[in-house]
């Protein structure tokens, strides 16, 4: 299965991706996690990405598309993958189509997570992620770790992303509406979009997603 997850920041894409990827036995590919790993390793790509991420803007396609393709080229992604946070604009969606069709492949579905904006704001405000691996995601109220401040998965330190502060969040939501939302219509034209509500418990949303996917 080749699946794209779409939804506003804070919708629960990363959280759901961890469970869906496990259920479907495909790798979870998050461009946000790839950027954060590059930033913590101090790579040139990380340095470049950081200025855009801190401002709540999209990292340029010239950087992002190559990074995503390199990841999809890895052996574990040969049989399928779950893309989280990519594509994020029409240019990236077209690049992904070209990449896949060049290999005789296509997407199976685009899973659209729907959440009201006030809920998204609450989810982002309490989000804490792991320093060792930013795909380990918690919430101070809704998804508490067993020990406060400590990652259940790997024991790493939990912290708040600097782009999860209020002023940057507002910018990211704007960017979502203006640049990312249009890809939903782009994929609707290909008959790929499955929309589900992302409200409710994490496990309920996972079940809804598994039932909705082809
Ligand atoms: P969220 O799901 O909360 O929006 P992500 O971890 O997906 O957060 O993304 C964090 C930031 O990383 C984005 O605001 C953006 O700056 C950058 N980013 C992630 N994926 C992409 C992408 N596909 N294109 C451009 N920038 C991206
Ligand atoms: P995204 O990747 O779309 O930005 P995350 O998966 O990081 O979103 O989730 C955002 C925050 O909301 C995290 O703190 C996460 O623990 C929390 N969260 C995820 N799913 C739910 C849910 N169903 N109910 C309440 N909180 C949730
Ligand atoms: P279960 O949900 O069956 O109790 P686990 O809690 O061990 O199983 O987690 C299942 C998978 O989800 C594991 O691969 C783990 O790495 C991942 N996982 C667990 N909690 C989180 C989290 N808060 N954020 C991201 N991934 C997580």
Enter the pTM of the model. Answer: 0.92
- Check residue 7 and give its pLDDT: 98
What local confidence, expressed as pLDDT, does residue 120 receive?
97
Q: What is the ipTM of this complex?
A: 0.91
| Residue spans of the chain under pLDDT 50 | none
Span from the CA of 31 to the centroid of ligand 1 (angstroms)? 7
Sign, CA torsion 127/213/184/133:
positive
How much is the pLDDT for 125? 97
Q: Respond yes or no: is residue 172 known to be catalytic.
A: yes
Is residue 13 annotated as part of the catalytic site, yes or no? Answer: yes
Is residue 120 included in any domain, yes or no?
no
- For position 87, what pLDDT does the model report? 98
Q: Is residue 66 part of a domain?
A: yes
Q: Point out the ligand nearest to the CA of residue 172.
A: 1
pLDDT for the residue 144? 97
Find the domain containing 37 and state its range: 2-115+166-212
Write out residues with Cβ below 6 Å of ligand 1: 9-10, 13, 31-32, 35, 52-53, 56-59, 64, 85-86, 88, 92, 163, 172
CATH number, domain of 108, equals: 3.40.50.300
Per-residue model confidence as pLDDT tens digits over 34-93: 999 999 999 999 999 999 999 999 999 999 999 999 999 999 999 999 999 999 999 999
Question: Is 137 within the bounds of a domain?
Answer: no
| DSSP-assigned letter for residue 12 | S
What ligand has the least distance to the C-alpha of 33?
Answer: 1
Instruction: List, in sequence order, every beta strand (DSSP E) within the chain.
Output: 2-6, 28-30, 81-84, 109-114, 127-130, 137-139, 158-159, 193-197
User: Does 161 fall in a domain?
Assistant: no
Q: What is the pLDDT of residue 104?
A: 97
Domain tally, the chain: 1
pLDDT of residue 156: 98
**Residue 64's pLDDT is what?**
98
Strands 109-114 and 2-6: parallel
């Amino acid at each position: 299965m080749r699946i794209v997850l779409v939804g506003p920041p804070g919708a629960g894409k990363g959280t759901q991706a961890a469970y869906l990827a496990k259920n479907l036995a495909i790798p979870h590919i998050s461009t946000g996690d790839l950027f954060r790993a590059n930033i913590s390793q101090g790579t040139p790509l990380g340095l470049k990405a950081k200025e855009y991420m801190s401002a709540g803007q999209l990292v340029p396609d010239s950087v992002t598309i190559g990074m995503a393709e390199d990841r999809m080229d890895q052996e574990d992604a040969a049989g399928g993958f779950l893309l989280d946070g990519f594509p994020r604009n029409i240019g990236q969606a077209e690049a992904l189509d070209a990449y896949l069709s060049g290999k005789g492949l296509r997407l199976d579905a685009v899973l659209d997570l729907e959440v009201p904006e006030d809920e998204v704001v609450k989810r982002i405000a309490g989000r804490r992620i792991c320093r060792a691996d930013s795909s380990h995601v918690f919430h101070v109220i809704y998804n508490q770790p067993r020990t406060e401040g400590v990652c259940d998965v790997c024991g790493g330190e939990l912290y708040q992303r600097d782009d999860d502060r209020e002023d940057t969040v507002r910018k990211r939501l704007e960017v979502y509406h203006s640049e990312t939302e249009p890809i939903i219509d782009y994929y609707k034209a290909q008959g790929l979009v499955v929309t589900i509500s992302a409200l409710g418990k994490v496990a309920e949303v996972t079940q809804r997603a598994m039932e909705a996917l082809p």
